[in-house]
């Protein structure tokens, strides 16, 4: 069994995001870039399935600029067998990403595709669902537990009402939630081994992917600063103040 894992690079979650002075975007120059946390969980789950003997080949794939190779080496150091880098200098929206991943599916013929449920830079939560629709295969989103039984997968999903358990036939798309697992720590020997693992580069233009970038962002703005709090003497004064502001 082969597993394909989407592995996006984003601004590290510990970085305080700054908007560019001209409002054209967020500052990425000189800031730490890391794997999307949900994608680390997706890769960890794929590696655990391989360790259980369910899978034999784990492939990580990213869509991004030429300097994403160090990011992919991180995935290889975690334990992936191979990496695919679809090279483009432009940021892609979820539909374009899904169409690109579909091209890789046609090439690699994986039995399972595992993606993070969303990326922390755009929070779209769309690529996995779009990919399943384009591939015409089942989807199991927001997974907190995955069990493979032959040609099917039993997935426990985190939904608004609690937990939902579904069975899907393979091949299928699975997207991961936070409680699925805890990604492993990468050791120095694994980092050294990753340097010799296969990493294939493919120009996005060569895949003839139809663009799905239909949204246009006109401006970025930082959140408004919080106003200073007001001290009140008692509950009666608090209620009176809330009434003057039309909040009660």
For the chain, give every domain's residue range.
Answer: 2-244
Answer yes or no: is pLDDT of 226 > 90.
no
Rounded to an integer, the average pLDDT of 41-59 is 96
Q: Name 186's Cβ contacts closer than 8 Å, sequence gap at least 6.
A: 74, 77, 78
Answer yes or no: is pLDDT of 38 > 90.
yes
**pLDDT confidence of residue 128:** 96
- The alpha carbon torsion through 67, 200, 2, 111 (nearest 10 deg) reads 80
What Å distances lie between residue 35 and 43, 115, 137, 172, CA to CA?
10, 12, 26, 23
Higher pLDDT, 135 or 16: 135
Higher pLDDT, 222 or 6: 6
DSSP type of residue 225: P
Least confident of 102-111, 170-179, 232-241: 232-241
Residue keyed to tokens 């990403």: 97
**pLDDT confidence of residue 225:** 84
β partners of residue 156 = 145, 165
Residue 143 — pLDDT band, cuts 50, 70, 90? very high
State the Cα–Cα distance between residues 204 and 212, nearest whole angstrom: 13
Share of the chain above pLDDT 70, in %: 100
Q: Dig out the tokens for 225 from the structure.
A: 């600063």
Q: Which CATH class is domain 2-244?
A: alpha beta
Q: Dig out the tokens for 132 from the structure.
A: 């399943």
State the Cα–Cα distance between residues 69 and 87, nearest whole angstrom: 10
**pLDDT confidence of residue 130:** 97
End-to-end distance of the chain based on CA atoms, in angstroms?
Answer: 59
The structure's pTM equals 0.86
Higher pLDDT, 60 or 222: 60
**pLDDT confidence of residue 36:** 95
**pLDDT confidence of residue 26:** 86
The number of beta carbons lying within 10 Å of the beta carbon of residue 221 is 7
DSSP type of residue 240: H
Q: Dig out the tokens for 158 from the structure.
A: 């985190």
């Amino acid at each position: 069994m082969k597993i394909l894992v989407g592995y996006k690079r984003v601004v590290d979650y510990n970085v305080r995001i700054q908007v560019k002075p001209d409002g054209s975007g967020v500052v990425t120059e000189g800031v730490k870039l890391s794997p999307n946390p949900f994608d680390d969980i997706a890769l960890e789950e794929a590696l655990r399935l391989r360790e259980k003997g369910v899978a034999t080949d784990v492939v990580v794939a990213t869509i991004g600029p030429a300097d994403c190779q160090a990011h992919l080496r991180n995935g290889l150091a975690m334990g992936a067998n191979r990496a695919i880098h679809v090279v483009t200098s432009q940021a892609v929206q979820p539909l374009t990403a899904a169409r690109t991943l579909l091209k890789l599916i046609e090439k690699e013929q994986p039995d399972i595709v595992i993606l993070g449920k969303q990326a922390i830079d755009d929070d779209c939560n769309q690529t996995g669902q779009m990919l399943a629709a384009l591939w015409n295969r089942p989807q199991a989103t927001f997974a907190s537990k995955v069990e493979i039984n032959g040609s099917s997968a039993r997935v426990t999903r985190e939904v608004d009402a609690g937990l939902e358990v579904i069975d899907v036939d393979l091949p299928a798309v699975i997207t991961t939630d936070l409680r699925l697992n805890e990604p492993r720590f990468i050791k120095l020997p694994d980092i050294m081994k990753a340097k010799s693992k296969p990493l294939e580069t493919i120009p996005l233009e060569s895949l003839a992917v139809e663009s799905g970038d239909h949204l246009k962002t006109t401006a970025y703005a930082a959140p408004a600063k919080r106003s200073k709090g007001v001290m009140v003497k008692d509950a009666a004064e608090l209620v009176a103040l809330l009434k003057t502001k039309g909040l009660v």
